[in-house]
Amino acid sequence: MTSGNEQKGTTPMTTTAIDVRGLRKSYGAKLVLDDVDLAVSAGTVTALLGPNGAGKTTTVHILSTLLRPDGGTAAVNGCDVVRDPDGVRAVIGLTGQFSAVDKLLTGEENLLLMARLRHLGAKRSKTRVAELLEQFDLVEAARKPLATYSGGMQRRLDLAMTLVATPSVIFLDEPTTGLDPRSRHTMWDIVRGLVADGTTVLLTTQNLAEADELADRIAVLDGGRIVAEGTPDELKRLVPGGHIRLRFADAAALDAASRVLDESARDDAGLALTVPSHGGVRALRTALDRLDAAALEVDDLSIHTPDLDDVFFALTGRLDAKGTES
C-alpha cells in the first residue's frame, strides 16, 4: 500500500499487521472491552480515540501481551497474542501511557540496556544508541540522570527505548498526554518519521485533532465498544461543524441578539448565544453583519472547532466525553 511497506520487506500488497476480532475483557463484573474488532494495515497509522476509561490501555496491553483477553482473538503480524506471545514480542514495541524507564540510570544507559536485551551486539548497540540519542535530541542529556529530564525528554527517551530494535509494529498509548505544545509537535514529527520508514503504528489519544493530524484511520472507542471507524474525513462528516459563541453585556442585549440570529441557541446563565458555523468564515461574517445592523455590541466572541466532545455527542448522543487528560 505504501512504499514503506516494501522497504520493510513485507509483502507489497496491503497486509494486516494488527488483527483484532471480537475481543472481550472484564475486570470482575465490569466489562471493559465488549466485542472489539480492529484491523490495521501494515505501514499505516491507526488512532484509537476515546475518553478516559474507554478501554484504550486495556486494548494496547492485550496486543502487547501484557494482558490476556477473556474472549476473541488478537494477532500481530500473524502471531496470536495468546498462543505465540514471544512471536508478537519479537516484532512489537510499546511506549505505554506511564513512563517505563529506569529512573536510576542515565538516558544513555537506559538505551544501552535495551540494546543488550535485544542482543544487538556490542558494536551495533553503540552505534544504534548514538543514532537514537541524535535523532531524539538527547545527546546533551545522554549522561545525565533521568531526574534532570523534562516530561518531554522522558517521553522521547521512552520512545527511543522502544525503537532500539526497529520494531515493525509500535503501540503508543497517549504519547502526547501531558506534553506542552512544542513537545507534542516534536512527538508528531517522530511518529510521521516512523510511518515514513514503513512502521505500523497504533496510537491512542483523547484528542480528535491529534488523531486527525497523524492517523490514516480512526477507531472511536467508548465504554469498551468501537462506536465508529473510518478515515478522519469520514468521521468528521459524522460530526456537525463547530460553532461560534457570542457573549453579551446584559440580558437585554442577549434578547435582542437572539431575535436577530434565529438559528442560535441561548445560554441565559452565561449571557451567551451559540451559532452553528460548520467550520466556515461565512457564518461568522453573517452573524456579525446582522448584529452590526441591529447596533448590538458583542462582549466576547470565541470560535469552536469540533472536538472529541462533539464527536462523542454525534456518535453516542451523550455529552460525557470530557477529553480531559488522565
Partner 1 sequence: MTATTAQRPPAPGAARQSHVVADALTMLHRNLLHMVRYPGLSVFTIVGPVVLLLFFVFVFGGTLGAGLPGVDPAGGRAAYVEYVLPGILLLTIAGSAGGTATTVAMDMAEGITARFRTMAISRAAVLAGHVLGNTIQAIIAVALVLGVGLLIGFRPTAGPIEWIAAAGLIVLIAYAITWLGVAMGMQAKSVETASNWPLLLMFLPFLSSGFVPTESMPQGMQWFAQYQPFTPFIEAVRGLLLGTPLGGSVALAIGWCVVLAVGGYAWSMAIYERKSVR
Ligand X SMILES: Nc1ncnc2c1ncn2[C@@H]1O[C@H](COP(=O)(O)OP(=O)(O)O)[C@@H](O)[C@H]1O
Binding residues for ligand X, total number by CB under 6 A: 11
245 contact, one of Mg ion, partner 1, ligand X, none, CB 5-8 Å limit per kind: none
- The footprint of Mg ion (CB under 5 A) covers 56-57, 97
Residue pair 321/312 in contact (Cβ under 8 Å)? The answer is yes
Q: Which residue has the cell 446584559?
A: 250
DSSP state of 148: G
Residue pair 92/18 in contact (Cβ under 8 Å)? The answer is no
How many angstroms separate the CA atoms of 134 and 139, rounded?
6
Q: Which residue's CB is nearer to ligand X, number 34 or number 216?
A: 34
Beta carbon of residue 174, minimum distance to ligand X (angstroms, whole number): 7
150 contact, one of ligand X, Mg ion, partner 1, none, CB 5-8 Å limit per kind: none
How many CB atoms sit inside 10 A of residue 168's CB?
Answer: 21
How many angstroms separate the CA atoms of 111 and 113, rounded?
5
Task: Give me the count of residues in the chain.
Answer: 326
Position of minimal CB gap to Mg ion: 57
- The footprint of partner 1 (CB under 8 A) covers 8-11, 61, 64-67, 77, 85-87, 89-94, 96, 98-105, 109, 113-114, 116-119, 161, 165-166, 168
Q: Which stretch binds ligand X (CB under 6 A): 46-54, 69-77, 122-130, 235-243?
A: 46-54
90 contact, one of Mg ion, partner 1, ligand X, none, CB 5-8 Å limit per kind: partner 1
Q: DSSP 3-state assignment of 142?
A: coil
Residue pair 153/132 in contact (Cβ under 8 Å)? The answer is no
- Tell me which residues touch ligand X (CB under 6 A): 27, 32, 50, 52-58, 326
